[in-house]
Amino acid sequence: MSLRSIASRIVYTVYGKRLMQQAAGRHPRHVAIMLDGNRRWAREAGFTDVADGHRAGAKKIADFLSWCREADVEVVTLWLLSTDNLNRATEEVEALLKIIVDVVDELAAPETSWRLRMVGALELLPADMARSLKAAAARTEDRKGMEVNIAVGYGGRQEIADAVKSLLLQHADEGTSIRELAKILDVDHISEHLYTSGQPDPDLIIRTSGEQRLSGFLLWQSAHSEFWFTEAYWPAFRRVDFLRALRDYAWRHRRFGT
């Protein structure tokens, strides 16, 4: 290792410790992240196959979850595949789905500690892949560690539509009329049927790659979330970037809409 590399590592370590100190005192319970920029990273790195970018991004996930655990985060939501992504070229979607199945299997391995929850319209995926994802999550049900939501085939509008359908079916089974339901319906009733039911809403939402929009991510749950955007593509996202997000979050005065 060169002297320059050693010096860079020392500076990076010292800066990381400083950021941790600055972020101390208030940390988010729920961090949601949009893992964006894999394809652009691949192209700029000289790869001809964008799947190489998705593979590089997949390797980053376990590191990110470890950083969250170190920061005492209780819930993490990872957006891996949107409903819009399913409209891309068939070859790219198939390759990406295989990468997602592989990484979810790795996250469910016995040596890991987190609990996985699949969130999204899995019925839109090939049946064998949907079964594999559900089976991987089921293997982690009894764990007591950090909760990790894997958003696959996810769209915020789709989630709200699915929540309303679930709510209507429940009350239909209970014999509640539409008129009776309209009298009692409130936001809590819908929240109980979201993919993330029972979990706190995200305190902090991170998007990589320089884009500054939600693109339909957690539309309902993000009403009072803080947002943090970075130019870094997801495969190039570093621990120091995450610590900067935590520091900025700790410095903000949350108003919760007031």
Residues with catalytic roles: 36, 85
Of 134, 131, 137, which Cα lies nearest the Cα of 108?
Answer: 137
Q: To which H or E segment does residue 33 belong?
A: strand 30-34
The tally of CA atoms less than 13 A away on the side-chain side of residue 130 is 11
CB atoms within 10 A of CB 228: 21
User: What do you get for the CA distance between the two ends of the chain, in Å?
Assistant: 53
Please state, in angstroms and as integers, the Cα–Cα distance from residue 155 to each residue in 34, 93, 219, following that order: 12, 16, 9
Of the candidates 109, 43, 38, the one whose C-alpha atom is nearest the C-alpha of residue 79 is 38
Rounded Cα distance between 12 and 242, Å, is 13
Residue 218 Ramachandran class (φ > 0 left, ψ -120 to 50 alpha, else beta): left
Place of tokens 């996985």: 116
